[in-house]
Structure 1
């Protein structure tokens, strides 16, 4: 399949321009090298590549958990490197929703309480938090599981709670790191159907996965190799 252009779009939700990140683990490890990438508003992008290709580093940079050594990353028009730690944390809490392979739910909190956590940190009024948590859990098919704790839920249900939590603050960008990695095939497909619905509603999603059939739910696949952008494969119109 033909490679796509890496030309940057000034209207993109995320713009990565010539970003590089090197770690020093006894010797320099060039995790990302001069990478440029845009995530258009409402796009669904999958990222694939072998171990050590830079997938986790890219995810950390886009999630404002790290900053590049060189180049720039802009999220919703804001340059991440120019922000203070506090403002970067604020950007992360208001503009980005995270979904993880391990779910990362608080085991002693109910599903509803887990979903309200991002709103607590964003100073949303308590009554509004509860109402929004009910609405979001209903949206992901767990309206009857509000008071269940994670140990009382299946893997697929836990991931649905995690997706609801990611949506709590109406993020500009959803970052999903191997969201089906701990799920069986059928449950994984159900979760991907939910991601497709969210994307159809206009949400911008970037998902890291090592599974080709999961990546094919996206509009395009970004292939990384040795920290570099190898190619961008368009899936739009495939069927």
Structure 2
């Protein structure tokens, strides 16, 4: 990948979109992870006002410190970058106390994890609304179009997706080129939605490098019969996630009413 040309292309794309939409800038949720760090850096380099938003909900200290380090670095590098912190922990706890709890802890935990992401989306759109900004998405190609590893109407609820055509490995490559802090480049990817130390790989059952490989193999028309051992295991994991999460990747189905009965 020609990192310099790719960076310029995304930055110009963001600028043109913002100009055509006649908005004032961008708002980005910054988590301390590589994807949000890259996205916020790209937005900052457009010259448009870029608001970096911390939204902790029982967040691990390591994630908070990385987010703060990145924001401080961006503000030092770019005059158009500002930040705000909205602690949503009490909002999340109030929600938990009001909703029914079923006798299935795994389902409760997953629903509450997705609720965290949806609370953050609501906050980002509140800020976007009062400042006239666009919500910039932070999903990469493997997450958004491979395994569907995001929350519908949570981190998937955005106005535009600047890095969604980049594989995870390309995200790291571009992040290094643009000077994202080393602490973020070296950190294990995690969505931070469960309030514990589990990583993305723990949840997915495969690393991003493995999932990228499986995505490319599927695109080439390969099937399970082409693989064995760990490759077969990874290909099965990828195929299952890709199949089960198609509802996130395809447009919302609309029931079309035949004209003769309307």
Task: Calculate the TM-score normalised by the size of structure 2.
Answer: 0.28
The answer to which structure has the higher helix fraction is 2
RCO higher in structure (CA 8 A, sep ≥6): 1
Higher fraction of strand: 1
TM-score (norm 1): 0.30
